């Protein structure tokens, strides 16, 4: 679980005004952003249902194949001459 710092921003040492607490909506926004960055929602959705080991292997193999095809497309795009078709 990501930790979110809800303490107010640090002020200059000479600033004598008391620090204000962070509003709830801003704290909630910061928390959601941290959760999104950490990938917690994706992990929960992935673990929501049991996936058979064979289905997991099949999915991983398909993902690897699609990554490889994408890489090949990108290489062909950059290596092909632009004038010819």
Question: What does the pLDDT look like over 1-28, one tens digit per residue?
Answer: 667 677 767 778 888 887 788 889 988 9
Q: How far apart are CA 6 and CA 24, in angstroms?
A: 9
Q: pTM score, two decimals?
A: 0.50
Give the pLDDT band of residue 82 (cuts 50, 70, 90): low
Q: How far apart are CA 34 and CA 4, in angstroms?
A: 7
- How large a percentage of the chain has pLDDT more than 90? 44
């Amino acid at each position: 679980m990501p930790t979110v710092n809800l303490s107010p921003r640090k002020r200059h040492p000479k600033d004598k005004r008391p620090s204000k607490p962070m509003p709830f909506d801003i704290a909630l926004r910061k928390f959601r952003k941290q959760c999104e960055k950490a990938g917690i929602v994706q992990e929960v959705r992935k673990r929501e249902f049991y996936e058979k080991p064979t289905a997991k292997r099949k999915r991983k193999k398909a993902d690897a194949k699609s990554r490889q095809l994408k890489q090949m497309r990108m290489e062909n795009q950059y290596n092909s001459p632009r004038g010819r078709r």
